[in-house]
Amino acid sequence: MTKTYRIAAIPADGIGIEVIAAGIEVLNALAEKTGTFRFRFDHFDWGSDYYKTHGVMMPADGREQIRHHDAIFFGAVGAPDVPDHISLWGLRLAICQPFDQYANVRPTRILPGITSPLRHVSGPELDWVIVRENSEGEYAGVGGRVHQGHPEEVATDVSMMTRTGVARIIRYAFRLAQGRPRKLLTVVTKSNAQRHAMVMWDEIAAEVAQEFPDVTWDKMLVDAMTMRMVIKPETLDTIVATNLHADILSDLAAALAGSLGIAPTANINPERKFPSMFEPIHGSAFDIAGKGIANPVATFWTACQMLEHLGETPAADRLMRAVERVTADPGLHTPDLGGKATTRQVTDAVIAAIQGDNE
Ligand code: IPM
Ligand code: MG
């Protein structure tokens, strides 16, 4: 019997609209090729334009509308004329946090045909998965501002970490590391300077490590971690870090792998009480929006993550093979990779590669 997956598509802003459209085409082509499942996409026009008309980024019952979908396929939020904290908290974080998508998973590899800015690094030396804590920490939203505009103005953003929140993300990362061939985990910290929450983070890491005797793990201060990523990328495999630390490290990782235009991310609720959300890491990129030159590869890669989450691993592998066939051809690189290809050309090439894949 053909299974139907119900996917909530929220392209939102800027190039999000172009790459999600490309992703849907590719997923439909993949379903057709595979023959054992299909997709039903429900489209939601939430985002900054919606905000300009309605004063909110999504309707009050928005989460209820997507609560029972199998997954959320998300583009990007952010528009030049809407303050970033409004668009972010009004849509992306308004989904991630209440849906308890606490594990943000960011794979990084140098895909075939793509050049890393690191000399001597061509592929196998850089194959990482960054696990980002996605529900609390520096993004807890705790804080405030008083006496705004006056000389005595005070503002705070309090990073908040809970034992439950830390233990579950570290356990998730150990489990993920355990499932990868090298069984290697690096726990990123800053417990030398942040002497409360990050010390608890370290303690919990050591406790959880006991459950995974077959995983080799080490601890790295976040500042030193940036150097290690550049100088010794081959010594890393799975990485776990706090919300903000991993936000920063994942941009570095994306740049080292060749472009932010290929970097995907999955916001996972591992308990599956809520749908998980899949999105490219790049933002709405208004400077190139509407030009048809956005790189759809990050969206295709996150579609692979979505397929894995849905349990369609062979289809995910087929899609990744198709993507790699296409990136291997520099004639199919978009401008972010130094090429001249359009979103349309890359999408058509990936669809053709799916159709021609008979493995
Ligand atoms: C990311 C992004 C977001 C974040 C921005 C858009 C707020 O940089 O997903 O990494 O900081 O979480
Ligand atoms: Mg970021």
E strands, 205-315, in order: 216-221, 238-241, 264-268, 276-280
Residue 283 CA, ligand 2 centroid: distance in Å: 9
Lowest pLDDT segment from 80-89, 146-155, 322-331: 80-89
Same domain, 299 and 348: yes
Is 272 part of a structural domain of the chain? yes
Is 184 part of a structural domain of the chain? yes
Same domain, 250 and 133: yes
Q: Give the Cα separation of 148 and 116 in Å (integer).
A: 45
> Active site includes 51?
no
Which of 5, 139, 172, 237 is the catalytic position?
139
Is 286 part of a structural domain of the chain? yes
Q: What is the predicted pLDDT for the residue at 29? A: 98
- Asked if the model's pLDDT at residue 2 lies above 80, the reply is yes
Same domain, 128 and 155: yes
Same domain, 189 and 268: no
Is the distance from the beta carbon of residue 254 to the nearest atom of ligand 1 less than 6 Å?
Answer: no
pLDDT band at 82 (very low <50, low <70, confident <90, very high): very high
Asked if residue 259 lies in contact with residue 296, where contact means CB atoms within 8 angstroms, the answer is no
Same domain, 200 and 300: no
> Active site includes 61?
no
Same domain, 89 and 124: no
Same domain, 75 and 126: no
Q: What is the predicted pLDDT for the residue at 279? A: 97
Which of 206, 235, 256 terminates a domain? The answer is 256
* pLDDT (average), residues 221-227: 98
Residue 300 CA, ligand 1 centroid: distance in Å: 19
Same domain, 26 and 125: no
Domain count along the chain: 2
pLDDT band at 171 (very low <50, low <70, confident <90, very high): very high
Which of 237, 256, 275 terminates a domain? The answer is 256
Q: Nearest-CA neighbor of 167 among 202, 212, 130?
A: 202
Q: pTM of whole model > 0.85?
A: yes
Average pLDDT of every residue of the chain: 96
Question: What does the pLDDT look like over 228-286, one tens digit per residue?
Answer: 999 999 999 999 999 999 999 999 999 999 988 999 999 999 999 999 999 999 999 99
Burial of residue 49, with CB atoms counted within 10 A of its CB: 0-12 exposed, 13-18 middle, 19 or more buried: middle
Q: What is the predicted pLDDT for the residue at 47? A: 96
Same domain, 120 and 95: no
CB atoms within 10 A of CB 149: 6
Is 185 part of a structural domain of the chain? yes
Is the distance from the beta carbon of residue 298 to the nearest atom of ligand 1 less than 6 Å?
Answer: no
Q: What is the predicted pLDDT for the residue at 357? A: 87
CATH number of the domain within which 184 lies: 3.40.718.10
Residue 249 CA, ligand 2 centroid: distance in Å: 8
> Active site includes 139?
yes
Is 107 part of a structural domain of the chain? no
Same domain, 125 and 225: yes
Domain of residue 50: give its range: 1-102+264-359
CB within 8 A of 184, min separation 6: which ones?
A: 177, 215, 216, 217, 236, 237, 238
Is 108 part of a structural domain of the chain? no
Q: What is the predicted pLDDT for the residue at 252? A: 96
Q: What is the predicted pLDDT for the residue at 155? A: 98
Same domain, 225 and 287: no
**CA of residue 300 relative to chain centroid, distance:** 12
Same domain, 50 and 127: no
Which of 240, 256, 272 terminates a domain? The answer is 256
Is 109 part of a structural domain of the chain? no
* pLDDT (average), residues 106-130: 94
Q: What is the predicted pLDDT for the residue at 123? A: 85
- Asked if the model's pLDDT at residue 1 lies above 80, the reply is no
Q: Nearest-CA neighbor of 139 among 107, 108, 176, 102?
A: 102
In which order are the strands placed within the sheet that holds 264-268? 37-43, 3-12, 71-76, 276-280, 264-268, 103-109, 127-133, 238-241, 184-189, 216-221
Q: Give the Cα separation of 12 and 279 in Å (integer).
A: 11
Is 216 part of a structural domain of the chain? yes
The fraction of the chain above a pLDDT of 70, given in percent, is: 100
Q: What is the predicted pLDDT for the residue at 358? A: 86
Q: Give the Cα separation of 238 and 225 in Å (integer).
A: 13
